[in-house]
Amino acid sequence: MTLLTSWPESGPETTVRRTTDPTEIRAALAPLGVRYERWPVRDDVPPGADPATVLAAYRTEVEKLNAEESFSTVDVVSLHPSDDPEWAAKAAGARQKFLSEHTHDDDDEVRFFVAGAGVFYLRVGGEVHAVYCERGDLLGVPRGTAHWFDMGTRPSFTAIRFFHEEDGWIGNFTGDQIATRFPDFDTLAADRAALG
């Protein structure tokens, strides 16, 4: 179940909005230029499936979105717990890269969650909007939007990434420490679980 929580950008002491209703989430994000959709979930795609299997399973949806947006690159990123002794360090490094607020000049950040979960935090119009995305969620953050992403202390997700630019992910970090003031992925995951 997707969870949208919004606070004033000054801090999370007051909650402006909290909803798990997909229609309300879409309505709240649309004026911000954020694309939110729910795609059908393919139960035959395991969390650790290889990229070719993932893209084949979602070919219809990917081709439809690509026809609308003309992406130059579509790929799959996956990070799941492993017995590899270096996994924890790799996961922590990957998480740290995206925890600082940044923007993208030349591309939207479009992700579809095939498995697992992650939280996109968007700072727009004096508010911070945390979108807890899970399997079946597509989120498109418009270029120029200040945001950050948290995958949690024990990341577990597979996502399809869409890029207009061949260079892929290029972040412009704002230097603002705003991300440190708001609840992290693990806190929001617990909140979401408590909601049922």
Tell me the per-residue pLDDT of 62-87, one tens digit each, with 9 for 90 and over.
Answer: 999 999 999 889 999 999 898 888 88
What does the pLDDT average to over 105-132? 95
- Sign (positive or negative) of CA dihedral 41, 43, 49, 52: negative
What does the pLDDT average to over 104-132? 95
Residue 6 and residue 128 in contact, taking contact as beta carbons nearer than 8 Å: yes
pLDDT at residue 171, as a whole number: 72
User: Phi first, then psi: what are they for 174, rounded to 5°?
Assistant: -80, -20
User: CA 112 to CA 138: how far, in whole Å?
Assistant: 4
Residue 122 and residue 131 in contact, taking contact as beta carbons nearer than 8 Å: yes
Q: Is 104 annotated as a binding residue?
A: yes
pLDDT at residue 87, as a whole number: 87
Q: What percent of the chain has pLDDT over 70?
A: 98
pLDDT tens digits along 160-196: 999 887 766 677 889 899 999 999 999 999 988 888 7
pTM over 0.85: yes
Return mean pLDDT, the chain: 93
Question: How far are the Cα atoms of 10, 13, 14, 18, 131 from residue 7, in angstroms, in the given order?
Answer: 8, 8, 6, 9, 12
Q: Is 102 annotated as a binding residue?
A: yes
- Sign (positive or negative) of CA dihedral 139, 9, 30, 40: positive
3-state secondary structure of 52: helix
What does the pLDDT average to over 108-125? 96
Count of C-beta atoms within a 10 Å radius of residue 144 = 12
Fold (CATH) for 3-194? Jelly Rolls (2.60.120)
The structural domains of the chain, with segments of one domain joined by +, span: 3-194
pLDDT at residue 151, as a whole number: 95
User: Phi first, then psi: what are they for 163, rounded to 5°?
Assistant: -130, 135
pLDDT at residue 130, as a whole number: 98
